[in-house]
Chains A and B, each alone.
Chain A
Amino acid sequence: MAKLLQVTNLKKYFPVKKGLFRQTVSEVKAVDDVSFTLYEGETLGLVGESGCGKSTLGRTVLQLIKPTSGEVVYRGSNLTDMNFRELRPFRKEIQMIFQDPYASLNGRQTVKQILQEPFQIHQLYSRKEREERVQEILEKVGLNKEMSNRYPHEFSGGQRQRVGIARALMLEPSLIIADEPVSALDVSVQAQVINLMQDLQEQYKLTYLFIAHDLSVVKHFSTRVGVMYLGRMVELAEKSSLYKRPLHPYTKALLSAVPVPKVGSKRERIILEGDVPSPENPPTGCTFHTRCSYCMNVCKQERPNFKEVENGRFVACHLY
C-alpha cells in the first residue's frame, strides 16, 4: 500500500504560564514524540483516555495547531514548514469531522451556506455548479435536498453530524481526520453514522484517521489501531492482533475494562489503580510505570523506545 502520510517524532508542548509577567513555568506535553505512517485507503483508529493527547495529535497533523517539533509529510510534502498560504491547497486534501455537531456548525448559516463555503474559499465552480454539488452531497449523506435551506438547530444530532460529514466531503479530500465523530450520538444513531462513513470510504476512496475513546467502535471501524497514553503512542498494530493479543500492559488493562453487553461473560478484568497522572508532570521513564503491574526498575528510569517487535506491530515497553 502506498504511504499517504508520515508523521515523525511529532511533539506539541503547551506552555503553562504563571504570575504577573506570564512567565513559562512548565510545559504540558500533550503530544510527545509520536511517529506513525498512514497508508492509502486504510482507517487508523486512535484510542486513549481523556487527556492522552489524541485530539491534539489529530489537530497537529492537520496543522490547525503548529507542532513544537517533528514532521508531518503528506504525499512527499512537509506540512510543518509551510505557512498559511502554502498550506491552503493541502487543506482541500485533508478535512476534519468534529465531535460536537452543535458547536462545529455556524448557527446563523443555512446548511447550503455552510456547505458552499469551502467552494468560496477555494474559488471553485460556478454558482449553479455549487448548488448542484450541494444537492448531490446531501443525498449522499442521507439528507433531503429540501433540507438545504434549513438552519442547524432544525436538525437532530444525527442529522447534524451528517451535515458535518457532508461539509468535510465538499472538496473531495483524500484524508479525513474524524475526532470522536459518533461519541455525542445515541447508540442507534451512532450505528447509522458509522455505516454512512464506511459507505463513503468505499465510494470516495477515503483514508480515515479515526479518533475515539470507545474501543468497540474503534475495533469495528479501523484497519489498524494505535493506543495512546499521556501523549505517547504505546502500541500500534493491526486491529485483529491488537484486540486478540494486546502486548502493552496498558492496552491489556484498557481492553479488559470495557464492559460487554452480555450477561455472565466471564472475562478476566485488570483493574488499574489510581488515575492518569497529570501531563504537566508526567512520571519519569515509562509514563505508565506508576500504574503498571509489570513495573521493573528500568521502567522508572529509562523511557522505552517505540519499536517494531513483530511485523507491523509497534510497542513502547521494556518487556519486549
Chain B
Amino acid sequence: MSALLQVEDLEILFKKKKEYVSTVSGVTFHVNPGETLGIVGESGCGKSVTSLSIMGLLPDNYSRISEQSTIQYNGRSLVGISEREFRNIRGKEIAMIFQDPMSSLNPVLTIGYQMVEMIRAHEPQLSKKAAEEIIISMLKKVGIPRAEKIIDEYPHQLSGGMRQRIMIAMALSCNPKLLIADEPTTALDVTIQAQILELIKSLQQEFNTAVMLITHDLAVVAEVCDRVMVMYAGTVVEEGQAADIFNEAKHPYTIGLLNSIPSLEENISRLDAIPGSVPSPEEFPSGCRFAPRCPHATEKCYNQPPDHYQISDHHFARCWLYSKEGVN
C-alpha cells in the first residue's frame, strides 16, 4: 500500500530577530489511505506548524521550509508549488478543521453561503441549487437537525458543538482524501467531545478518509487513532501503533506524559510529573531535546542527537536507550 501522504525530513524555520531559527526538524512520517494518525504533544512541540506546512498555510514572510524537506501527497510534491496549484488541493484533496470553530467561520455570512461558496470554488459547474442540496445532505450526515433552516442562520446563533459539526460538514463536502483535524474537540465539553469523536469515526468509515488528528490529549488519541506519533520540541520522539504507544511506551517522554495523567480507573496518591518545562526554539539543546528533563540522560544525550531506532515492526523511538551502542 503506498502512502497517501509522505513527509520526509521536514524542517521548518521561523524568523526571529533577522535570523531563521529551526523549530521543527527531522520530522518524517506517512499517512496511509483511510487510516487515522494521531499527533500528540504539548504546546510548542510543533504539531500545529507541521500540519500548516502540509496545507501550505505557513506565513511566508517570516517562516520557510528548508530545501531538503519533502512533502509528497499522492506522489506529487507540495513543497514550493504555487498558490494557484495549492488552491486546487486545499479543501478538495486535503481539508482541515481547526480548534476554534467560531473564529474559522465568517461571522457576517450565513452558514449556507459559506458552504456553497466553498463547494462551487472547487466545482464551478454546479448550480447554486445543486450545491445547496449537497450541503443539506452533508449537514444531515453530521447530525444537524433542521438543516434546511440552519443554512440561513449565522454562526453566532449556534452552539460550539454545532459549529464544529458545520466545520466537519464543510471539510468533508468536497470528499477530501485527507482530513487534518487540529485540536477539533479541545474547545468543547466532554459530552459534546464524545459526540464529535463518534461522528469523526463514523464519517471516516463512510467516506474512507484518512485523518490526521492533532491534539494534546492522549486520551482522545487512544480513543480514535490507529497509529500515534508523539512530538516533543519540534521532533518526533516516538511513533507506533496505538497499542505500542499506550501499552509499551518506550521513550522516556512518552512514559512521563502517560504517567502524569490522573487515571479515572485507578487510585494513585501522587502523580509522576516530568520536571521542568518545554524549552523555547532558541534554547533547544544540541543533543537530545528532551535530555534536560529526562531521568535517564547521560553525557551522550546532551551532546549527540539520537536517531530513530526501531523497536518492533512499526514502533520507533528517538532515544539512545534503544540504539545498538546504548546510552554510553
Task: Give the interface of A toward B (CB within 8 A).
Answer: 49-50, 156-159, 186-192, 194-195, 198, 213, 215-217, 219-221, 240, 243, 253-265, 269, 271-272, 275-276
Contacts and interface: CB of A to CB of B under 8 A. Distances in A.
Max chain A C-beta neighbours (<10 A), residue from B191, B192, B268:
B191
16 contacts: A49-B190, A49-B191, A158-B277, A191-B259, A191-B260, A195-B273, A213-B190, A219-B262, A219-B264, A257-B193, A258-B264, A259-B222, A259-B223, A260-B222, A261-B218, A271-B195
Contacts of B193: 257, 259
B268 A275 contact: no
A195 B274 CA distance: 11
Given A259-B217, A259-B222, A192 B261 contact: no
B223 A191 contact: no
Contacts, number: 123
B262 A198 contact: no
Given A186-B43, A259-B217, A260-B222, A198 B270 contact: yes
B40 to A, nearest CB: 10
Q: By CB atoms of chain B within 10 A, which of A187, A216, A272 has the most?
A: A187
Interface string B221-262: 111000000000000000000110011000000001111111
A186 B222 contact: no
Interface in B56-83: none
Contacts of B257: 187-188
Interface in B252-300: 256-265, 267-268, 270-275, 277-278
Given A260-B219, A261-B222, A263-B246, A271 B194 contact: yes
Given A195-B271, A215-B264, A275-B161, 16 more contacts: A159-B277, A186-B216, A187-B261, A188-B277, A191-B272, A191-B274, A195-B270, A217-B262, A243-B264, A255-B264, A259-B217, A259-B220, A260-B265, A263-B242, A265-B222, A272-B191
Nearest to B219: A259
Given A243-B264, A253-B191, A263 B222 contact: yes
Contact of A269 (B42, B194, B278): B194
B162 interface: yes
B189 interface: yes
B317 to A, nearest CB: 18
B256 A271 contact: no
Contacts of B162: 275
Contact of A192 (B217, B258, B275): B275
A264 B242 CA distance: 10
A99 B273 CA distance: 20
Contacts of A49: 189-192
A219 B260 CA distance: 14
Given A188-B42, A254-B190, A259 B197 contact: yes
Given A260-B265, A275-B162, A186 B42 contact: yes
Interface residues of B, number: 46
Contacts of B117: none
B262 A216 contact: yes
B198 interface: yes
Interface in B77-128: none
B273 A188 contact: yes
Nearest to A198: B270
A254 B260 contact: no
Contacts of B243: 263-264
Nearest to A259: B219
Contact of A216 (B246, B247, B264, B278): B264
Given A187-B216, A243-B264, A260-B264, A220 B271 contact: yes
B159 interface: yes
Contacts of B259: 191
Contacts of A190: 260
B277 A156 contact: yes
A194 B262 contact: yes
A194 B260 CA distance: 10
Which 4 A-B residue pairs are closest in the complex by CB-CB distance?
Answer: A220-B262, A191-B273, A191-B260, A259-B219
Contacts of A256: 194
A281 to B, nearest CB: 14
Given A158-B277, A257-B193, A257-B194, A187 B222 contact: no
Contacts of B161: 275
A101 to B, nearest CB: 13
A243 B265 CA distance: 9
A257 B159 contact: no
A261 B278 CA distance: 22
A49 B264 CA distance: 17
A272 B259 CA distance: 30
